[in-house]
Amino acid sequence: MFGNARILNVVIVIFAVIGLIAVLGIVGMAVMHVGMMHGMRSCTEAMRLWQ
């Protein structure tokens, strides 16, 4: 990436890894939520009943 700024390369790699972990975590939680609720339809119905 940047030839002279080795520290900048390290910081960019660290932020990239943190972002990847965050995205994978969010996707995993969404998949688990939809799986537990048996689809989005029951989730919307539960929210409607909760109000």
CA-to-CA separations, 43 to 16, 31, 38, 50, in angstroms, rounded = 32, 13, 8, 10
Structure-block tokens of residue 16: 């990239």
**28/38 Cα distance (integer angstroms):** 15
pLDDT, tens digit (0-9, with 9 covering 90-100), for 1-19: 556 788 888 899 999 999 9
Residue predicted with more confidence, 48 or 9: 9
The domain limits of the chain are 20-51
Task: Please choose, from the candidates 44, 40, 18, 17, the residue with its C-alpha nearest in 3D space to the C-alpha of residue 30.
Answer: 40
Residue 18 pLDDT: 97
Is this structure's pTM higher than 0.95?
no
Q: What is the mean pLDDT of the chain?
A: 81
pLDDT tens readout for residues 18-41: 999 999 999 988 888 777 766 656
